[in-house]
Amino acid sequence: MTVTIIGIGLIGGSLALALKEKGLADHIIGIDNDKQHVQTALQMGLIDEHCPLEEAIQKSSLIVLAVPVDALIALIPEIMNRIDKQVVMDAGSTKELVMKKIEGHPKRGRFVATHPMWGTEYSGPQAAVRGAFVNKAVVICNKEESDEDALQLVTRLYQQLGMHLVYMEAQAHDLHAAYVSHISHITSFALANTVLEKEKEEDAIFELASGGFESTVRLAKSNPAMWVPVFQQNRENVLDVLNEHISQLRKFKSCLEKENWVYLKELIEKANGIRRILK
Amino acid sequence: MTVTIIGIGLIGGSLALALKEKGLADHIIGIDNDKQHVQTALQMGLIDEHCPLEEAIQKSSLIVLAVPVDALIALIPEIMNRIDKQVVMDAGSTKELVMKKIEGHPKRGRFVATHPMWGTEYSGPQAAVRGAFVNKAVVICNKEESDEDALQLVTRLYQQLGMHLVYMEAQAHDLHAAYVSHISHITSFALANTVLEKEKEEDAIFELASGGFESTVRLAKSNPAMWVPVFQQNRENVLDVLNEHISQLRKFKSCLEKENWVYLKELIEKANGIRRILK
């Protein structure tokens, strides 16, 4: 089938690679606001063609929206207005707002809301990764609002990419995403700013930073163009989790201030409980 | 040469593997409070022999202390009192207190204070990793207080393991370590507790957690027996950095509360500056 991918960045580009590799798309049309991204994607062979949006929609069976979630909200009505029987899916990190945006749209059934749980701290088509989605989860939201054939096309596609499906309502998705993804980014951004602010000897960071620091801070390289809209759209959940995170950090602070080593040990032992969940 | 390693855990065990592999030790004596660790280390071939401390010291040219930093402080006078011309080195994550502890000791020159900047979130001899220290930094503290031959033995050993040497005063070490290692652990412990506290659906974490969450939270698996003493000994530096980190997190919180997306973008762009330092 012919697939249009709107947003040929980290996710769109990696998806293009995977669709080609698995023989799921024989022709990929790429659309991106950034002309340089389109050029790079063509040169890298991520996409086969670039053409105007209307033409792309007419030629395609599937339209994938892999743009930042603010662009997603802006674009989705236009796409939905232009399609006939095509299937539209997104890959956005937030889900409630996009659901509200297309609620009651006459073509609502053609849309499948998805969030593949994979990413890196890099962006743009040159960040595309081969085999990116294998063994990862993909969340499908509000599946009962999608037409059966549209849902089947999208779920089969993800299964063939090696992903396992998790079904969730949009509201639950946004809450869980705040915990397992959005807060990690804020933590990492704030940690980077802490070190950049106070550690005046950057050479020392460079020389001494070991794997532990690197893994905790790597998400701080992530693109604001993607993340500001995520925090905008998931503001309330992220604020809840962030408040809890600050109060957890204050417990560590209080232990240090009061030299309460017994309670500090308890806090760490409690944190070790994450082993139950992540091997 | 014969080497005694006191503390056959993650660091001691990995060091034993590396010393054997590079032909730097032909006989390794292992000592550990935990009898099970000694048994495991013998079975795994990490160590060749276990014997009483006094006998081990007599038989060895080099004694390595790879114990938690509270045990280090407790043990170091006894070791220094018992040695003759042997070289003693540690691998502790804090340096000021151990320096104070042996200040003015008649055998001070035989001790070389080191901190190899490598570790994982796992502990015990079964956590030992082959090739662990390659291309990592090792800090040597207050080198002018060590005898020349002792310093030379230790620096050559680390160089042969593939490490690059960084010389620092103990005080500077502890400050930098608070930034590039200790704070990451507190962040990670607090993040784990945030999620464990508020996210009641552990299945959701398990299913949805992607690489980003895992890398930010993996240090939360770290052993309190190692980390509580580190925070105890580096309390003031860690508190300073932790206060700054909480105030950085509050900036993100304030942006979300006030919906100040312009400033949020600035904060993220500033955090992106970590790219300058970490590729």
Check whether A206 has a pLDDT greater than 80. Answer: no
Residues 169 through 198 of chain A touching chain B, CB cutoff 8 Å: 172, 176-177, 179-181, 183-198
CATH 1.10.3660.10 residue ranges in chain B?
Answer: 173-276
Of A166-180, B93-107, B189-203, B238-252, the one with minimum mean pLDDT is B189-203
Q: Residue A165 — very low, low, confident or very high, per pLDDT cuts 50/70/90?
A: very high
Cα separation, B185 vs B219, whole angstroms: 6
Query: Mean pLDDT of all residues in chain A?
Result: 95
Percent of chain A with pLDDT over 70: 100
- Please give the pLDDT value at position A203: 77
Mean pLDDT value across residues A84-91: 98
Residues in chain A: 279
Nearest CA in chain A to B248: A190
- Please give the pLDDT value at position A98: 97
Check whether B204 has a pLDDT greater than 80. Answer: no
What are the residues whose beta carbons fall under 8 Å from the beta carbon of A172, sequence distance 6 or more?
B204
pTM recorded for the entire structure: 0.92
Residue B212: count of CB within 10 angstroms of its CB:
22
**Between B136, B191, B213, which is nearest A245 by CB?**
B191
Q: Residue A19 — very low, low, confident or very high, per pLDDT cuts 50/70/90?
A: very high
- Residue B276 or B233, more confident: B233
Mean pLDDT value across residues A173-188: 94
The strand pairing partners of A191, in sequence order, are none
- Please give the pLDDT value at position A278: 83
- Please give the pLDDT value at position B101: 97
**Fold of domain B173-276:** 6-phosphogluconate dehydrogenase C-terminal fold (1.10.3660)
Question: At A226, which amino acid appears?
Answer: M
- Please give the pLDDT value at position A276: 87
Cα separation, B50 vs B4, whole angstroms: 9
Question: Which architecture characterizes domain B2-169 according to CATH?
Answer: 3-Layer(aba) Sandwich (3.40)
Residues of chain A contacting residue B184, judged by C-beta atoms under 8 Å apart? 191, 212-213, 216-217
Mean pLDDT value across residues A71-86: 97
Q: Residue A236 — very low, low, confident or very high, per pLDDT cuts 50/70/90?
A: very high
- Please give the pLDDT value at position B225: 95
The strand pairing partners of B116, in sequence order, are B138
**Tokens (6 digits) for B132:** 């662990």
The closest of A65, A52, A102, A56 to A81, measured between CA atoms, is A102
pLDDT digits (tens, 9 = 90+) for B213-232: 888 999 999 999 999 999 99
Q: Residue B208 — very low, low, confident or very high, per pLDDT cuts 50/70/90?
A: confident
CB of A267 within 8 A of CB of B193?
A: yes
- Please give the pLDDT value at position A272: 96
- Please give the pLDDT value at position B53: 97
CB of B72 within 8 A of CB of B99?
A: no
Check whether B206 has a pLDDT greater than 80. Answer: no
Q: Which burial class, exposed, middle or buried, applies to A72 when counting CB atoms under 10 A from its CB (0-12, 13-18, 19+)? A: buried
- Please give the pLDDT value at position B105: 97
A60 to chain B nearest CA, in Å?
30
What are the residues whose beta carbons fall under 8 Å from the beta carbon of A136, sequence distance 6 or more?
A116, A117, A118, A162, A163, A164, B210
Q: Does domain A2-168 have CATH number 3.40.50.720?
A: yes
Residues 141 through 170 of chain B touching chain A, CB cutoff 8 Å: 164, 166
Check whether B166 has a pLDDT greater than 80. Answer: yes
